[in-house]
Amino acid sequence: MVIFIDDKPVRIISKKKFHNLHGSDFDTILDARLEQLNEKKFKGHVIVLNTSAATIEKFFRLIANVKDFEYQSVTFVVDDKEAIEEQIKSYYRVVKAAGGVVFNHENQILMMHRLGKWDLPKGKRDDNEKSKETAVREVAEECNIGVVLGEKVCTTWHTYAMNGSKILKRTKWYRMNCIDDSEMRPQLEEDIDELQWMDEKQIQKALINSYSSIRYVFDELKRQEKGY
C-alpha cells in the first residue's frame, strides 16, 4: 500500500518483502525499536524498520502537528501489513473513486488540466455502483467521449481535507480505449479547462506539473506493459 499524504508517498511494506529493498534507495534508516522518532530524523527518503502500531500513531501525530515536515517519502516495514493499513484508514473518512487511463488509436493518452495541474479523469463512486462502472461514467462525464473498458492498472490512495474532515480517497484506475472523441470537451463545472491527447514525450513534460499519485499510475502502467 502506498498513501500519498500532502503529495508525499508513505509506503507500508511487510517484512516478507523487505529483502526486495536496498539501503542505497534511502537517505535515512531508522529502527523504531532502538530510537525515539521525531521530525528531525525524517530527512529525505526514509525507511523505518520494526514499525509497530505505536510507531504509526506517533508518525501521524507528527504530520498533524509539525509544519514543513521535510521528508520526501517514508517506507514503514511492518509485521502485520493488513492491521497497519486498517489502522491508517481509521484516521480518515474513506472515499471510493475510480478513473481511467484512456488511449486513442495513435496510442496517445488523454490528459486533463484541472486547477492548475495535469490530471487523469476520475470521480467518486455512486451508491451501489461498481468501480468499473464508476470509471467509465466519470470519463464520459468529464471528457464527453466513448470508451471501452480494459484491465485494471492499479489502486492509489491520497489524502486531502474537506470541510474540516480528513479524507482518504481510494481510486481504482483502469486502462481504456477511446471509441469516439468526436464531441470531446472538458466538464467546466468540474474545473477542467483543457483536454489533450499526449504522446510519451508530452506526458513526461506534463507530469512535472502533476501529482505524485498520478506519476505513480504511469509508473504502474509501465510495469504492467513490461510484464512485471
Task: Assess whether 219 and 108 both reside in one domain.
Answer: yes
What pTM did the predictor assign?
0.89
Task: Assess whether 134 and 37 both reside in one domain.
Answer: no
- Report the 10 Å Cβ neighbour count for 202: 15
Task: Assess whether 44 and 67 both reside in one domain.
Answer: yes
Cell of 94: 474513506
Task: Assess whether 137 and 68 both reside in one domain.
Answer: no
| Amino acid at the residue 198 | M
Specify the residue for cell string 506493459: 225
Task: Assess whether 62 and 112 both reside in one domain.
Answer: no
What's the number of domains the chain is made of?
2
Strands 192-198 and 71-78: unpaired
The residue out of 63, 89, 115 marking a domain boundary is: 89
Cell of 140: 464520459
Residue 152 Cα distances to 102, 123, 144, angstroms: 12, 16, 21
- Report the 10 Å Cβ neighbour count for 91: 13
> 174: domain range?
94-226
138: domain CATH number is: 3.90.79.10
Task: Assess whether 62 and 175 both reside in one domain.
Answer: no
Maximum Cα–Cα distance across the chain: 61
Task: Assess whether 57 and 81 both reside in one domain.
Answer: yes
pLDDT in tens, the chain (228 residues): 899 998 999 999 998 877 777 767 899 999 999 998 888 889 999 999 999 999 999 999 998 888 777 889 999 999 999 999 999 999 999 999 999 999 999 999 999 999 999 999 999 999 889 999 999 999 999 999 999 999 999 999 999 988 888 999 999 999 999 999 999 999 999 899 999 999 999 999 999 999 999 999 999 999 888 776
Task: Assess whether 122 and 37 both reside in one domain.
Answer: no
Task: Assess whether 207 and 166 both reside in one domain.
Answer: yes
Task: Assess whether 9 and 64 both reside in one domain.
Answer: yes
Task: Assess whether 143 and 46 both reside in one domain.
Answer: no
